[in-house]
Structure 1
């Protein structure tokens, strides 16, 4: 019992003598213990009904501030050790959600402050691009899409990186779902370089066109034959890039192409034949590989013939990008490193990506400054490999004044090298900007250091310039400028059917956490007639 003048406490367990009676003094200035029986004959319970999610969340804030990804089982164990009672998994989940909301702000409330966040970031990072598209409803605007391209990423990519852009998207796991579209390039050390990213409702034609239109403006427009894109075979992306014009090269990720192709044409030998055709750098080598596919399976050859060669084989790639990349692994790598932010509210997500890009720039610049070579480390490894394989090749100078025309042979293989024009008939030098093994053999005859002929994209000085641009720090919400604009509402929820999940479906050739194969259904075979679909008891034949 509990009222204004007295409090009575008894044990919940039956027949337990514990008893406490407290009453207020006549002057109402203090409380007095009238009766107290401090003996327990009952067993102790580890449940506590007073440990509400609100009470627990306040005490978990300091812990979750440093370990926001702490698992529920760890929280239950922490509460038992710290306070002596056991939380249910449901209590732990609700307490964690409340604590995270107190730390990061409620998911819905972050949309109200989104414009202030954009104003702060644009104020500190001049000439960056941040655009919000919203639905002008009769009342307050409803968020639809957002595009972000930081000035440091924009300037570095346009001035120092090769003109190949990878496009991809990944699902957001937060309350309102959606997808994160990304544009990622390659730096001079063949590492990923984030260019721009955007939040859209889904990966369709409309959202892809809106994202790519903003991206092209930041890349100073599409000059004739200057840019190339690589992506998976999504209909929206394919159609949008096709509309940019015939001079814009669009490569399809061969890994995704093969993933679809092998469903119909499985087998290790078919895989080797397809990749042989994809990696061929000359038209003749590609035709030979395609002929092998035709001889092995003509139907598979017919399906590959439907694809434009410029989309998937190096023999048809343009050489202006100085990049022979065939898989969109740079986008997949970026999606992987930001995975821990993909279930966060929108401002926390954007801040996590910005902080990652800023930290990456500082880390790579510091690492490269300690490197002593003039050519980037990964490119130097390719050069060393080419040097080792050039020994069996025999060179023949053709007698030109510039000492640049050579004929290089090994057995029945023969190639023409022009050192002045930096070309080789194998096309590897032109495709990548890195001297091939045939060119290096000729350079050694002339006494020329091969590293001097490596394209300027791969030089240490160029990559240091790439990472010399800074992502400037921003103030917190307490210092964001107040804006006299209508409150922005969160997007309309599009809940998918079924139980929500965070992990995507794995392909057959991808590794999973479980060390065993999933259960597979078996077809019933009749022991009487050997037919499939019924057993001996229901057999009619």
Structure 2
């Protein structure tokens, strides 16, 4: 399994102190070290040991480890003292893959003053040695002062401070060196959700020693199991309410709000017979909430099985967002089951569904807002991938611009297809699962190793003649019309008409699996199934016609169905010989749909970006894989060639010249012409790989190499050509260039949803096995009846 690396930026040797005339805290002095850890095998003990080892701590020294609760506003701090809290921290900063950790020592928490720092001359010396640092905000970047990046002090005190000044080794920034405006500036750890890069951009190569300021007091807040004892402090009223909800849920009771004012809050147990009661109020700093009174214990029974109302959709969102980030789209039923397992809560389905909607919006962004950046996304793709074809189609109604369709064909894909792949393209569409529905259309091909090679993809409102015509027009603009182009489809709505209009000269094959599915509904039976598939796999017209005549004798209607004019090409005996592909199904398109299935529930912009990224990563992985190959042929074909060369004992070769021969086997005789790469069985011509008859002839020749008679489409050189170009990586959305188009792209107008409850499961085909479950009692009755029947047969015999 690939390691999931996470960067820990640990600040040590300093302390938190209030800024003068403010409730803000500022981390003074200390130094910072960073290291990478594997989140899958890193625990709290490892973190503690690393800190002790890195900063050379003594056994008698006591430390506390702190982190910032990222998504809780106003900012709050959590002490790290368990594995569970450390895992929660990794989950919170999963998108950034880095976070700050603060370590405080009880021996060095001192109140610095003018007398401790020394004389004014010493203070000026500190100022002169400071270099610029950057304070990061969501809306601005301010330059501040930065201490020397070569500082290595571990413990800060009066003596060590004087030594640092004498050695011109600055270890902290005095708040007196900052202006009034800078002192009031709040600093946040901020990063975009889709970037793995650090947001600290500095002129220096080493940004490991930034001084970070935070506002408010620092209190220990356990978000998993909060404490409600008298004297417990919370940084705000909102944090207190979050902790109260979690506390009530864990203790399986509900609260009734008796008083709720900005400065105080009194609650009691909802059960009137219970004496539990709590009162908290605001402290004089105007921010901190403290528990003042608590009357215990609880005397009521659990209400969690009755849908505890303390578990609001916002509480549910906070619990499940980590699961959704890690595992993708989980159903509300699965989330409901997990909440019952971990919190003993029996919650209503719709409340869980609303909580999931909140979490998905937080993870992937707002659905409607995703359409506003489509023009920016288009321009960014073209700028990073010159030569690509990217199209955005809008519907204009009453001067409003609604999203309609989007098409992407990256230059690396189009060039790779034309230079390194067979002229074979599968066309298919899959339904999207998001709020605005629609379909994703895709054109996919095969590389020499029979791997999926995406050529183009896009989004449209539905599958119809107009949408497929628009998609194929854009595809033709990207790849033109390669010689011997083959298109294979599942006979989607409107696709056949679109192909005839845009690619009239192309060979349009029909997927045999879908054709037989329709055939089976009218003509069931195993005998017909064997014959129809045999006719599809036949390479020669003689074999095909022989099987079709057998079907005609058995069922004239089935014969007429298979020979209808609109059925298209479905047998290998009808295939051309340029594309060198003998596929009779459109499984490559089905593979593409399954490959992107996890992203089909995302907003449109994220969906397109995820598919682009998956293609980029896949092409790079195959480029590296091909660099390790040794032979001339790709592994799949190499294995086939070796296999057929070992089974030639039953074939007799009668040569008429150096290039022509008769090859006789048990069931017949075939003509092989080497210089034309042709055999009367047609397998070599259609597939591009020598058949067993050609292999027998080639291996009978002295010095002949079977690999030299394989089509160049299956060579390693051709494979490398297909993946030679790179797809340009994109920065985060916040760094995209905003295009002023003069209007706002709105979400597409929703079509009416079909009546009835939406189906959650895929409808099984007629050729697929259906699993049926029998009730236990009925199953026992059937088994008992079968036993009686067997006993009766035994008695008769």
TM-score clears 0.5 = yes
Normalised by the length of structure 2, the TM-score is 0.60
Return the TM-score normalized by structure 1. Answer: 0.87
- Decide which of 486, 490, 497 is 2:747's aligned counterpart: 490
* Distance change (3 Å), C-alpha of 1:10 and 1:273: closer
Distance 1:424 1:25 in 2: 92
2:726 is equivalent to residue 470 of structure 1: yes
Shift of 1:75: 3.9
User: Could you tell me which residue of structure 2 aligns to residue 536 of structure 1?
Assistant: none
Choose which of 139, 149, 162 in structure 1 pairs with 2:409: 149
Equivalent in the alignment of 1:43: 301
Greater alpha carbon shift after TM alignment, 499-508 vs 201-210? 499-508
Residue 107 of structure 1, CA deviation: 0.7
2:324 aligns to what?
64
Structure 1 or 2: more strand by fraction: 2
Structure 1 residue 409 and structure 2 residue 692: aligned? no
Match of residue 523 from structure 2: 265
Q: Return the alpha-carbon distance in structure 1 between the equivalents of residues 312 and 626 of structure 2.
A: 52
Aligned to 1:233, the other structure's residue is in SS state coil
Counterpart for residue 768 of structure 2:
510
- 1:274-353 equivalent positions in 2, closer than 5 A: 274-307=532-565, 311-353=569-611
* More off after superposition, 203-212 vs 438-447: 438-447
Residues 359, 503 of structure 1: CA spacing in aligned structure 2 closer, same or farther, 3 A cutoff? farther
Q: Which residue of 1 aligns with 2:676?
A: 421
- Given the alignment of the two structures, is residue 222 of structure 1 paired with residue 481 of structure 2, yes or no? yes
Distance in 2 separating the partners of 1:15 and 1:471:
67
Q: Which has the higher contact order (CA 8 A, sep 6+)?
A: 1
How far apart are the structure 2 equivalents of 1:4 and 1:411?
94
Question: Does the CA-based 8 Å contact 1:173-1:502 persist in structure 2?
Answer: no
Q: Which residue of 2 aligns with 1:538?
A: none
Which secondary structure state, in structure 2, belongs to the residue aligned with residue 257 of structure 1? Answer: helix
Q: Displacement, 1:267? A: 1.1
2:452 alignment partner, one of 184, 192, 198: 192
Distance in 2 (alpha carbons) for counterparts of 1:282 and 1:413: 14
Distance in 2, Cα, partners of 1:192 & 1:354: 14
- 1:463-487 Cα shifts (integer Å, max 9, x gaps): 1221222122101111111221211
Paired residue for 1:481, among 717, 726, 737?
737
Gaps of 5+ in 1: 519-541
Answer whether contact 2:388 2:478 (CA < 8 A) is retained: no
SS in 2 for 1:446: coil
2:686, 2:392 → 1: CA distance? 38
Per the alignment, do residues 309 and 398 of structure 1 end up closer, same or farther by CA in structure 2, a change over 3 Å counting? farther
Deviation at 1:262, TM superposition (A): 1.4
Distance 1:141 1:408, change over 3 A: same
Match of 2:628 in 1: 370
Alpha-carbon separation, structure 2, partners of 1:120 and 1:27:
48
Report deviation, 1:323.
1.1
Between 477-486 and 85-94, the greater mean CA deviation after superposition: 85-94
SS of residue in 1 equivalent to 2:425: strand
* Alpha-carbon separation, structure 2, partners of 1:235 and 1:83: 48
SS state at 1:165 partner: strand
How big is the shift at 1:12? Answer: 1.9
> SS state of the match for residue 270, structure 2?
coil
- Greater shift, 381-390 or 233-242, is seen at 381-390
Report the Cα offset of residue 32 of structure 1: 9.8
SS in 2 for 1:364: helix
Match status 1:441 vs 2:696: yes
The answer to whether the 8 Å contact 2:428/2:492 transfers is: no
Distance 2:262 2:492 in 1: 70
Structure 2 segments unaligned to the other structure (5+ residues): 1-257, 776-797
Instruction: Name the counterpart of 1:207.
Output: 467
Deviates more, 1:102-111 or 1:310-319: 310-319
CA contact (8 A) 1:249 1:310 kept: no
Conservation of the 8 A alpha-carbon contact between 2:329 and 2:601: no
C-alpha distance in 2 between matches for 1:30 and 1:299 = 84
Secondary structure of the 2:521 match is coil
Q: The residue matched to 2:400 in structure 1 has which SS?
A: coil
Structure 2 counterpart SS, 1:41: coil
Q: Which has the larger radius of gyration?
A: 2
- Determine if contact 1:120/1:475 at 8 Å carries over to the other structure: no
**Deviation of residue 251 (structure 1)?**
0.5
* In 2, Cα distance between equivalents of 1:25 and 1:255: 73
Which range moved further: 232-241 or 257-266?
232-241
Q: Secondary structure at the match of 2:560?
A: helix
| Offset at residue 266 of structure 1 (A) | 1.1
**1:310·1:316 contact (CA, 8 Å) conserved in 2?**
no
Deviation at 1:458, TM superposition (A): 0.3
Counting matched residue pairs gives: 512
What residue is the counterpart of 2:207 in the other structure? Answer: none
Question: Which of 216, 241, 244 in structure 1 is aligned with 2:499?
Answer: 241
User: How far 1:337 moved relative to its partner?
Assistant: 1.3
Work out the CA distance in 2 between the residues paired with 1:109 and 1:258: 43
